[in-house]
Structure 1
Amino acid sequence: MSDVDHLLERASALLELGRPADAEHAALEALAADPTSAPAFVVLTRALDGQRRFDEAVGAGRSAVAADPDLADAYVALAWALVGDGRADDAVAVAGSAVALEPHEPACHHALGWALLSSSPPRHQEAHDAAARAIELEPGATPAYSVLGLALAGLGRRREGRKVLREGLRINPHDPYLHNNLAKIDLDRGLRIGRTGRHLSAAAGAIPQEPVVHRNLDTLLVRFAMRLVWPTLVALSVLRLQVALDAPWWSRAVTGAVYAGLAGLMVAWFSRQVPRGLRFWARGVLARVALPVRLIALAMLAFAACVVATAFAPTSLAAVTEQAAGVLLRLAFVLAAVLLVAHLVQRRRHRRG
């Protein structure tokens, strides 16, 4: 075995171990020994892609293709880098070239499926066909199950999509992307905090730095916050009645204490559903979500604060805080309605495009 082959074997092993930075160094050493080695450029592309240095990965991938235009692995590596760089439409053509070169290689069909799924708009049926072909060629290739499951969900067949992802987990129970994508489908179809939290915990344990996991955690937190609206509304209704009837202060305090206790129990239960190592991620969630969602969240926080203030404030001030809570609630509903209309308009334009 030549020195270049030894370095490439070492770099590939480092990639498998989740050490892309070390794999990059080994690939660069191989390229120093043989600057025209297409396999070395392929490993370098994958190593840079693993470090989310997508622009550099695209450059290395193009070098791999230029070094050996007949090497399907070069096109596959370049396709993944292009998807990471937000150029999925270009990745579709590149992955198609890989399939043309190696029509019986499952990795080529998998890359094509993911590129189709990531394109704008997503080409769900074609992604479904590509992923199904990858699984047909290699039934144990669980990454392709993620593509197939998400494609089915995108086609409106969420139950079938979940079934495919669960089938992939039976083959490899530790695949973090299968867990993450199951959580995504659950979040899209409705909130099931316990099950979604378990899948995200499994995903985060293996890929704690993966942004898509953090985005799903953000969505889970926002959806849970919406659950807290209902006990807050009930507490406000009871407090309004008590203020109107000029009930004694202690009765409002009891209502406030019951509300605070219930909300505290819900928050404590939710905190046990999310990954322990990522609990502090919630501190920055408002900075990560879109501005309209941030405004709605702030309005709802202020609304909850006014409800608590109404429960424990003196009689002379309770009426004021109760009215303020009503104003903030209406403001949040207006913002939510505007956001919903904007989302529907954008989705319609996206479909027409």
Structure 2
Amino acid sequence: MTELREELARAATMLDLGRYDEATSLLARLVAAEPASSRGWCLFARAHLGADRYVEAVEAANRAAAIEPAEEWPHRLASNALMHLGNHAEALRAASESRRLAPSYWQTHVCVAQAALAAAQPALAASAAAEARRLAPNEPDVHFLSGKVALARGDLDSARGHQERALALDPAHSGAMNELGRIRLRRHDTAGAIRHFINAARTTPGEHIYSRNIDVVILRTLSRMIYVFVLVALLMLWVPAVMHVDRFPFAVGFGVLAAGTVASFGLVLLRLPREARGLVRRTLRTRRVATALFVAIGGVAVAFAAVAFVPPSELPQTLPIAILITIAARITATARLRSPVSKNQRPGDRMT
């Protein structure tokens, strides 16, 4: 029995260090030798969670729950895995069972709040988060979760207050840094959001959600600039028909529009932290971003050329086609930018 405890402690240390594959191998041997060890199955579930094997995590957690029906930890682990699998109703049921078994543990209330958020039940999430704060007012993860609940309910000031409190309690809390970035985004502060995302990614290099968030912000900014560029272009396409200007001023107008868009993007780039500028350049070099920019600029250029180089008598027939080309370019470019960055993001849960 002493040897089993020592091996389980070694596995727990591996999990804390993020060595999930090594821990999985060790725990597979331990639960095969001691299948009645509830703690062994719980650690096995943690290992599967860390390695994104959510179905196996649920199975291991259920084995632990069958061995120790009065233990709350297996239900929390199962709830976490079920949220990743998108089974929010069962995740909430498992979280509620963990709270029923251990209502004095703040972790069980946090688990309920997380599952309620995933199940789109903000009122339940808020009440569970409030109870967690009552039980553990100085626990950073409690304020981290409370901030997520407040953000989901649209209370940006409260959300920021909770995340800043979490960072005051734990300056290395990367989840709180990430949430502050999300709050900045909601306030349309792109540069501030990227700063927080970069800090989160620097604090926890192995967590890819934070770097993906930076990509999302960059792509959202590019999409907004393409929208403005195309909108102005659509307005300018009517100039020859309404004002009967010559081709040269019309071509100059297109050049000014393109130069103004590039200058605006440059100003946005200058406001970003130096580290973020390299990330922007990396994103711009990706195939889908380059394709989106080519489609947007090329489509607008074709539309301008169609309007500029047709005889005035043919302009009424050409203008609608040019407008359709411009709109199609914008739709195609935006769709290209919105294609998935990578695999779905994992909902953060430091409390397993």
Distance 1:203 1:36, change over 3 A: same
Distance 1:322 1:179, change over 3 A: farther
Contact persistence 1:235–1:307 (CA under 8 A): yes
Q: Using the TM superposition, give the Cα deviation of residue 195 of structure 1 relative to its aligned residue in structure 2, in angstroms.
A: 1.7
Counterparts of residues 1-80 of structure 1 (less than 5 Å): 2-80=2-80
The residue aligned with 2:347 is none
Q: Using the TM superposition, give the Cα deviation of residue 49 of structure 1 relative to its aligned residue in structure 2, in angstroms.
A: 0.9
Q: Using the TM superposition, give the Cα deviation of residue 165 of structure 1 relative to its aligned residue in structure 2, in angstroms.
A: 2.0
Q: Answer yes or no: is 1:123 the counterpart of 2:121.
A: yes
Distance 1:7 1:199, change over 3 A: same
Distance 1:86 1:229, change over 3 A: closer
The residue aligned with 1:162 is 160
Letter aligned with residue 192 of structure 2? R
Larger relative contact order, structure 1 or 2 (CA cutoff 8 Å, min sep 6): 2
Secondary structure in structure 1 of the residue aligned to 2:112 = helix
Letter aligned with residue 199 of structure 1? H
Letter aligned with residue 137 of structure 1? L
Alignment root-mean-square deviation, CA:
3.7
Secondary structure in structure 2 of the residue aligned to 1:258 = helix
What TM-score do the two structures reach when normalised by structure 2?
Answer: 0.75
Q: Using the TM superposition, give the Cα deviation of residue 201 of structure 1 relative to its aligned residue in structure 2, in angstroms.
A: 2.5
CA distance in 2, matches of 1:207, 1:322: 52
CA distance in 2, matches of 1:275, 1:108: 41
Q: Using the TM superposition, give the Cα deviation of residue 115 of structure 1 relative to its aligned residue in structure 2, in angstroms.
A: 0.9
CA distance in 2, matches of 1:149, 1:309: 48
The residue aligned with 2:194 is 197
Contact persistence 1:193–1:224 (CA under 8 A): no
Distance 1:204 1:212, change over 3 A: closer
Q: Using the TM superposition, give the Cα deviation of residue 304 of structure 1 relative to its aligned residue in structure 2, in angstroms.
A: 3.9
What per-residue deviation string (whole Å, max 9, x for no partner) do you get for residues 49-87 of structure 1?
112111111001101111211222222212211111212
Letter aligned with residue 101 of structure 2? L
Q: Answer yes or no: is 1:214 the counterpart of 2:194.
A: no
What TM-score do the two structures reach when normalised by structure 1?
Answer: 0.75
How many residues are paired up?
320
Q: Answer yes or no: is 1:247 the counterpart of 2:246.
A: yes
Q: Using the TM superposition, give the Cα deviation of residue 48 of structure 1 relative to its aligned residue in structure 2, in angstroms.
A: 0.7
CA distance in 2, matches of 1:84, 1:43: 18
Secondary structure in structure 2 of the residue aligned to 1:174 = coil
Greater displacement, 208-217 / 95-104 = 208-217
CA distance in 1, matches of 2:201, 2:319: 41
Contact persistence 2:299–2:326 (CA under 8 A): no
The residue aligned with 1:305 is 298
Distance 1:278 1:114, change over 3 A: farther
Contact persistence 2:73–2:98 (CA under 8 A): yes
The residue aligned with 1:289 is none
Contact persistence 1:114–1:147 (CA under 8 A): yes
Distance 1:238 1:155, change over 3 A: closer
Q: Using the TM superposition, give the Cα deviation of residue 254 of structure 1 relative to its aligned residue in structure 2, in angstroms.
A: 3.7
Letter aligned with residue 178 of structure 1? A
CA distance in 1, matches of 2:258, 2:74: 58
What per-residue deviation string (whole Å, max 9, x for no partner) do you get for residues 280-319 of structure 1?
5674778xxxxxxxxxx97x97454333346678942596
Counterparts of residues 142-161 of structure 1 (less than 5 Å): 142-161=140-159
The percentage of counterpart residues that share the same residue type is 22
Letter aligned with residue 247 of structure 1? D
Letter aligned with residue 108 of structure 1? T
The residue aligned with 2:112 is 112
Q: Using the TM superposition, give the Cα deviation of residue 329 of structure 1 relative to its aligned residue in structure 2, in angstroms.
A: 4.9
Contact persistence 1:75–1:98 (CA under 8 A): yes
Contact persistence 1:15–1:23 (CA under 8 A): yes
CA distance in 1, matches of 2:139, 2:33: 34
CA distance in 1, matches of 2:76, 2:246: 71
Q: Using the TM superposition, give the Cα deviation of residue 226 of structure 1 relative to its aligned residue in structure 2, in angstroms.
A: 2.0
Please list every run of 5 or more consecutive structure 2 residues that lacks an aligned counterpart in the other structure. Answer: 333-352
Secondary structure in structure 2 of the residue aligned to 1:35 = coil
The residue aligned with 1:93 is 93
Letter aligned with residue 20 of structure 2? P
CA distance in 2, matches of 1:77, 1:316: 67
Please list every run of 5 or more consecutive structure 1 residues that lacks an aligned counterpart in the other structure. Answer: 287-296, 336-353
Contact persistence 1:11–1:26 (CA under 8 A): yes
Distance 1:73 1:103, change over 3 A: same
Distance 1:198 1:323, change over 3 A: farther
What per-residue deviation string (whole Å, max 9, x for no partner) do you get for residues 119-167 of structure 1?
1xx1112111212222332234323323212222333423222222222
Letter aligned with residue 173 of structure 2? D
